[in-house]
Amino acid sequence: MARIDYSDPARSSDRTREILDKNRNANIFRMMAHSPRYLEQYCRLGRAIRHEGELDAVVRELAITRTGILCEAPYEIVAHKRIGKGIGVTDEQNAALDNWQSATCFDELQRAALAFTDEIVKLRHPTDATFEAIKTRLTPGALIELQLSVGFYIMTSKFLETFAIDLQPVTEVV
């Protein structure tokens, strides 16, 4: 159960209701709507991360889901396993993300991105060896996008867990 009440869309501005409607009134956005200006900017950056970059979509979703796992954010894990499946993450890859190091279903780029993700979340920055491994596989732009994706979803995971955002049926999670 959420630690504070979700915002009431009926009491929101037209712009906030528009954002909530675009996001199917998902609980994360209903909670964030208590701060409409932050909600709008959060959604702008989230949209850029998920739809406007050059980073391979599968790599991005693997990194985002792994971030949710490491941050122990079930809402994030459920949401991004579903999103990942829709863009090409296999069921085998989704199932293997808890223990990806021993899995054989990831290619070298995906493995490098997952190692990079693990170290950003666990160590706060990647080791030189891990940074060099991912740097050789991505353009500078895609590398920036990977790091910002992980950072954004660390923030998102912490938000979800801080406010104990309730899971929703899989068909409604964004």
Distance of alpha carbon 78 from alpha carbon 110, whole angstroms: 20
Q: At 13, list the tokens.
A: 């501005």
Domain ranges of the chain: 10-51, 57-162
The whole-model pTM stands at 0.92
State the pLDDT at residue 16.
Answer: 97
pLDDT category at 174 given cuts 50, 70, 90 is very low
Query: What is the percent of the chain with per-residue pLDDT over 70, rounded to a whole number?
Result: 97
What rounded mean pLDDT belongs to the chain?
95
State the pLDDT at residue 107.
Answer: 98
State the pLDDT at residue 95.
Answer: 98
Amino acid at residue number 134 = I
Distance of alpha carbon 63 from alpha carbon 34, whole angstroms: 28
Closest CA to 81 of 69, 10, 104, 11: 69
pLDDT per residue as tens digits for the range 33-48 = 999 999 999 999 999 9
pLDDT per residue as tens digits for the range 62-116 = 999 999 999 999 999 999 999 999 999 999 999 999 999 999 999 999 999 999 9
pLDDT category at 173 given cuts 50, 70, 90 is very low
State the pLDDT at residue 111.
Answer: 98
State the pLDDT at residue 168.
Answer: 80
Is the distance from CB of 166 to CB of 27 less than 8 angstroms? yes
Q: Which CATH superfamily is domain 57-162 in?
A: AhpD-like (1.20.1290.10)
Q: At 168, list the tokens.
A: 């929703």
State the pLDDT at residue 169.
Answer: 66
Is the distance from CB of 119 to CB of 67 less than 8 angstroms? no
Give start and end residues of each alpha helix (H) in the chain. 14-22, 27-32, 36-51, 57-70, 74-87, 91-96, 108-123, 128-135, 140-162
State the pLDDT at residue 170.
Answer: 52
